[in-house]
Amino acid sequence: MLVFLLRCKVLAGSLATLFLLVPIGLAAQTATRPGRTPVLVELFTSEGCSSCPPADALLMKLEAGQPIDGVEIIALGEHVDYWDQLGWHDRFSSRQYTQRQNGYGNRFSLQGVYTPQMVVDGTQEFVGNDANRATRAINQAAKSAKVGLKLSSPMIEGKHMSLEVSLTTPGAFCLRLIYLRLLSIRWPPLMFGTGRTEGGSCTT
Single-letter residue type at 190? L
Determine the length of the chain: 204
Ranges in the chain, pLDDT < 50: 9-31, 173, 175-204
The torsion defined by the Cα of 126, 129, 132 and 133, in degrees rounded to 10, comes to: 10
Determine the pLDDT at residue 34: 63
Determine the pLDDT at residue 5: 54
Per residue in 128-154, pLDDT (tens digit) is: 999 999 999 999 999 987 777 777 787
Determine the pLDDT at residue 14: 36
Determine the pLDDT at residue 22: 40
Per residue in 86-105, pLDDT (tens digit) is: 877 899 999 999 999 999 99
Determine the pLDDT at residue 154: 79
Q: What is the pTM of this model?
A: 0.70
Burial degree of 42 (CB within 10 A; 0-12, 13-18, 19+): buried
What is d(CA 102, CA 43) in angstroms, rounded to the nearest whole number?
Answer: 13
Residues 6 or more apart whose Cβ sits within 8 Å of residue 120: 39, 40, 41, 42, 134, 137, 138, 140, 141
